């Protein structure tokens, strides 16, 4: 074996050993089992996959690619491989190339979940909705529901709400826009806030300003806040909450 052949073989062995798949640049190369296919002069011997993977499994990619590369270097359908890999839920995009004389190179870009969408899906920050087999590991993400085909608008509104809440050290857990355009949010403290269909952000800001006159334990006793009033809001309290003296809060110097 000449020096070039030794170098290629050594590189192939190194690539074959790189099987890690959690959150960094991964390169996986496997040897394709060669079948005695008549009329194929240059069978594919190697398939190389690379990408930054955190959620995507190497086995998922390999299982859809394997049947498609059991052919010759010139006969393999690059577009078919690309389409098959693209159908995997965690794949954002993929490029496929022939590498002379007997290899296929696949570069995969993984999707990054930004929020949960409805009960069984995730959505990227760019508004792409996708449905992995299991999303139990993503319960920490904000749960968002909204009208079909309007996910980008819903996500932009959600970002504004998160910024407003952060000023009061509050964390958004759920955001819902129903088919009639009414907003409802739920905080990580389980407090629900009804915002209605008009001037929602203005009403939310007005409510947040009133929190400055309440004690923290009083805020924590709120179960539901209804902001669908032109000049105020109503509060439903958790069971057992002591009655609040609103006159004392409004005129503290007189008490």
pTM (global) more than 0.85: no
Residues 201 and 136 in one domain: yes
Residues 123 and 245 in one domain: yes
* Shared domain check, 233 and 118: yes
Domain boundary among 57, 92, 110: 110
Average pLDDT for the chain: 84
Q: Which CATH number does the domain housing residue 14 bear? A: 3.10.20.310
Q: Looking at the structure, tell me whether residues 126 and 244 fall in a common domain.
A: yes
Cβ pair 105, 48 in contact under 8 A: yes
Which strands make up the sheet holding 46-53, listed edge to edge? 24-31, 46-53, 103-110, 91-99
Separation between Cα atoms, residue 166 and residue 123, nearest integer Å = 22
For residue 186, the model assigns a pLDDT of: 98
Pairing of strands 172-177, 143-145: parallel
Q: Please check whether residues 106 and 160 belong to one and the same domain.
A: no
Same domain for 243 and 121: yes
Q: What is the pLDDT of residues 206-244, one digit of tens each?
A: 999 999 888 888 888 999 999 999 888 999 999 877 776
Q: Each residue of 125-157: pLDDT tens digit?
A: 999 999 999 999 999 999 999 998 999 999 999
Q: Which domain holds residue 132?
A: 113-254
Shared domain check, 123 and 82: no
How many structural domains compose the chain?
2
Beta bridge partner(s), residue 109: 93
Which residue shows structure tokens 């319960």? 139
pLDDT digits (tens, 9 = 90+) for 66-125: 999 988 999 999 999 999 999 999 999 999 999 999 999 999 999 999 999 998 999 999
Look at residues 74, 68, 77, 8 and name the one whose alpha carbon lies nearest to residue 41. Answer: 74
């Amino acid at each position: 074996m000449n020096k070039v052949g030794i170098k290629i073989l050594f590189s192939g062995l190194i690539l074959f050993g790189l099987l890690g798949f959690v959150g960094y640049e991964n390169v996986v190369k496997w040897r394709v089992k060669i079948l005695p296919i008549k009329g194929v002069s240059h069978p594919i011997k190697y398939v190389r996959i690379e990408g930054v993977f955190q959620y995507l499994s190497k086995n998922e990619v390999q299982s859809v690619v394997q049947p498609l590369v059991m052919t010759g270097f010139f006969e393999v359908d690059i577009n078919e491989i690309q389409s098959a890999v693209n159908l995997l839920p965690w794949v954002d995009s993929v490029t496929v190339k022939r590498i002379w004389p007997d290899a296929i190179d696949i570069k995969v870009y993984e999707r990054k979940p930004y929020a949960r969408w409805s009960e069984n899906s995730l959505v990227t920050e760019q508004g792409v909705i996708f449905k992995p087999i299991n999303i139990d590991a993503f319960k920490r993400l904000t749960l968002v529901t909204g009208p079909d085909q309007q996910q980008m608008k819903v996500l932009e509104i959600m970002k504004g709400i998160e910024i407003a809440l952060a000023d009061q050290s509050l964390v958004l857990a759920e955001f819902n826009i129903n088919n009639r355009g009414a907003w409802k949010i739920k905080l990580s403290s389980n407090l629900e806030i009804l915002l209605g269909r008009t001037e929602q952000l203005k009403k939310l800001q007005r409510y947040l300003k009133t929190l400055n006159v309440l004690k923290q334990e009083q805020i924590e006793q709120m179960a539901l806040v209804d902001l669908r009033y032109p000049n105020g809001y109503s509060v439903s309290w958790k069971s057992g909450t002591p009655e609040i003296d609103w006159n004392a809060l409004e005129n503290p110097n007189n008490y």
